[in-house]
């Protein structure tokens, strides 16, 4: 499945780190539930589409999903969900994107068509794109803004949330509806500026011992096409790197963090989307 088919998660998680969980049996998780203590969740808008990220805790292994009691997906190989993203029309969940903790082809997208849930074919970019576009909220006006990577609170122009994913402290910045992030800064210093109608629609920052050391951003150009840029901190400057180098550094970051915490980790195959 391409990054265009899976715009948010395909961008964010190019490497999967899975802590080994001993004697965990598979559980079902109802995505319509609120305040489930077995997970963390974060509401935001991705490219003006209402969304919710759900991160299951390390204490559970989610191998099946339900919506309002209706079974909508079951893992065929027994692998659990590492992360679930919901996209809404009003209060109705229309799209569900799943990152599984298996190597190789581990992204699954579900579409709710009038109460009938189906798995979208991995090679049908157009069907996903149409469903996603139909969920976008209309905005009366748009204003240019910037994303500040040092911000850890919401602002009028940007939604910020933080969690631990695959053993790595992770912070998300996503523009609020009606805001076009044409710049990314850190503490007032320019890191990235869009050109030729480009805008940043999300950033994800990775930390080690509380210090930002890697981040990547997804951008959309004036024709609506998505691309990703990757950066690492070198001394006090930010250097653009390619996806292969980024994968290697992120892999090392997660591995070292796990070692420092005396956790046993399994490194799955890289996913380049």
Q: What is the pLDDT of residues 89-99, one digit of tens each?
A: 999 999 999 98
Q: Say whether both 15 and 125 belong to one domain.
A: yes
In this structure, the strands spanning 70-74 and 61-67 are: antiparallel
Q: Considering only residues 25 and 250, tell me which one the structure prediction assigns the higher pLDDT.
A: 250
Taking 80 as the threshold, does the pLDDT of residue 226 lie above it? yes
Q: Say whether both 111 and 159 belong to one domain.
A: no
The pLDDT value given to residue 163: 86
Q: What is the mean pLDDT of residues 52-70?
A: 90
Q: Give the mean pLDDT of the chain.
A: 82
Q: Considering only residues 101 and 248, tell me which one the structure prediction assigns the higher pLDDT.
A: 248
Please identify, among 117, 134, 151, the residue that sits at the C-terminal boundary of a domain: 134
Q: Considering only residues 137 and 57, tell me which one the structure prediction assigns the higher pLDDT.
A: 137
Taking 60 as the threshold, does the pLDDT of residue 14 lie above it? no
Taking 50 as the threshold, does the pLDDT of residue 216 lie above it? yes
- Domain total of the chain: 2
Please identify, among 76, 103, 134, the residue that sits at the C-terminal boundary of a domain: 134
- pTM exceeds 0.85: no
Q: Is residue 49 part of a domain?
A: yes
What value does the CA radius of gyration of the chain take, rounded to a whole number of Å?
18
Q: What is the mean pLDDT of residues 218-246?
A: 92
The pLDDT value given to residue 105: 45
Q: What is the mean pLDDT of residues 233-249?
A: 91
Could you tell me the residue range of the domain that residue 79 belongs to?
Answer: 9-134
- The CB density around residue 125, as the number of other CB atoms within 10 Å, is 16
Q: Say whether both 152 and 248 belong to one domain.
A: yes
Q: Say whether both 105 and 161 belong to one domain.
A: no
Give the number of residues written for the chain. 273
Identify the weakest region by mean pLDDT among 4-8, 46-50, 255-259.
Answer: 4-8
Taking 70 as the threshold, does the pLDDT of residue 39 lie above it? yes
Taking 90 as the threshold, does the pLDDT of residue 110 lie above it? yes
Taking 50 as the threshold, does the pLDDT of residue 273 lie above it? no
The pLDDT value given to residue 272: 26
**Cα–Cα nearest to 214, from 242, 238, 236, 182:** 238
Q: Is residue 1 part of a domain?
A: no
Q: Say whether both 105 and 64 belong to one domain.
A: yes
Coil vs helix vs strand at 245: helix
Q: Say whether both 128 and 149 belong to one domain.
A: no
Please identify, among 99, 134, 169, the residue that sits at the C-terminal boundary of a domain: 134
Q: Considering only residues 59 and 103, tell me which one the structure prediction assigns the higher pLDDT.
A: 59
Q: Considering only residues 23 and 240, tell me which one the structure prediction assigns the higher pLDDT.
A: 240
The pLDDT value given to residue 164: 80
Q: What is the mean pLDDT of residues 206-220?
A: 93
**Cα–Cα nearest to 148, from 188, 109, 176:** 188
The pLDDT value given to residue 194: 94
Yes or no: say if 218 and 228 are a contact pair by the CB < 8 Å rule: yes
Q: Is residue 162 part of a domain?
A: yes
Q: Is residue 273 part of a domain?
A: no
Q: Say whether both 162 and 245 belong to one domain.
A: yes
- The CB density around residue 145, as the number of other CB atoms within 10 Å, is 20
């Amino acid at each position: 499945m391409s990054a265009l088919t899976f715009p948010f998660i395909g961008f964010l998680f190019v490497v999967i780190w899975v802590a080994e969980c001993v004697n965990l049996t598979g559980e079902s998780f109802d995505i319509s539930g609120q305040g489930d203590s077995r997970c963390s969740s974060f509401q935001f808008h991705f490219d003006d589409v209402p969304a919710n990220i759900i991160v299951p805790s390390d204490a559970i292994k989610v191998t099946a999903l339900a919506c309002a009691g209706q079974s909508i997906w079951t893992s065929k190989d027994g692998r659990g969900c590492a992360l679930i993203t919901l996209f809404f029309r009003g209060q109705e969940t229309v799209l569900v994107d799943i990152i599984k903790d298996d190597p190789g082809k581990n992204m699954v997208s579900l579409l709710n068509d009038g109460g009938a849930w189906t798995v979208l074919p991995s090679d049908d970019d157009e069907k996903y794109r149409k469903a996603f576009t139909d969920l976008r909220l209309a905005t009366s006006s748009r204003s240019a803004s910037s994303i500040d990577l040092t911000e850890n609170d919401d602002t009028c122009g940007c939604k910020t949330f933080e969690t631990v994913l695959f053993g790595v402290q992770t912070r998300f910045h996503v523009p609020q509806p009606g805001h076009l992030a044409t710049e990314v800064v850190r503490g007032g210093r320019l890191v990235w500026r869009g050109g030729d109608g480009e805008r940043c629609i999300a950033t994800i920052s990775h930390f080690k011992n509380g210090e930002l050391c890697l981040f990547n951003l997804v951008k959309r150009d004036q024709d609506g096409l998505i691309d990703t840029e990757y950066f690492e901190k070198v001394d006090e400057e930010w250097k653009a790197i390619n996806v292969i180098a980024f994968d290697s550094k992120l892999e090392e970051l997660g591995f070292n963090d796990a070692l420092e915490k005396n956790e046993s980790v399994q490194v799955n195959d890289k996913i380049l989307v």
